[in-house]
Amino acid sequence: MKEKTITVSHEVSPEYGKCSFGGDFWGEEVCKYHAIRTQTHGNKAPPEYRKPKCLLFNCWLDEPYKKCEMCRKACAEVDRK
């Protein structure tokens, strides 16, 4: 059976490098794909608690409210159109 490709649209923050819609979670909206999770490494290392993660592209972030590289590329492609 042949693979099929589909296109899906998601609402993300309009800011270039941030996942917040003009603020933080203390009253302003945050991108619904930005979450705080515990990153586990199995027996290799202890878990890292309260680490930011992009749920849309399933990747860990360096800083809270920072967009991941794949999200920035996807937003740039939409802006070019």
Number of domains composing the chain: 1
DSSP string, 15-72: SSSBSBSSS-TTTS-B-TTEEEEEE--TTSS--EEEEEEETTTTEE-SSTTBPPHHHH
pLDDT of residue 25: 55
Distance CA 19, CA 68 (A): 9
Mean pLDDT of the chain: 83
Answer yes or no: is 20 within a domain. yes
% of the chain beyond a pLDDT of 70? 90
Beta bridge partners of residue 48, listed in sequence order:
39
Answer yes or no: is 44 within a domain. yes
Query: Which residue ranges of the chain lie beneath pLDDT 50?
Result: none
Of the chain, the end-to-end C-alpha distance in Å amounts to 33
Torsion region of 5: left, alpha or beta (phi above 0 gives left; psi -120 to 50 gives alpha) = beta
Query: For 55-67, how does the pLDDT look when each residue is reduced to its tens digit (9 = 90+)?
Result: 889 999 998 888 8
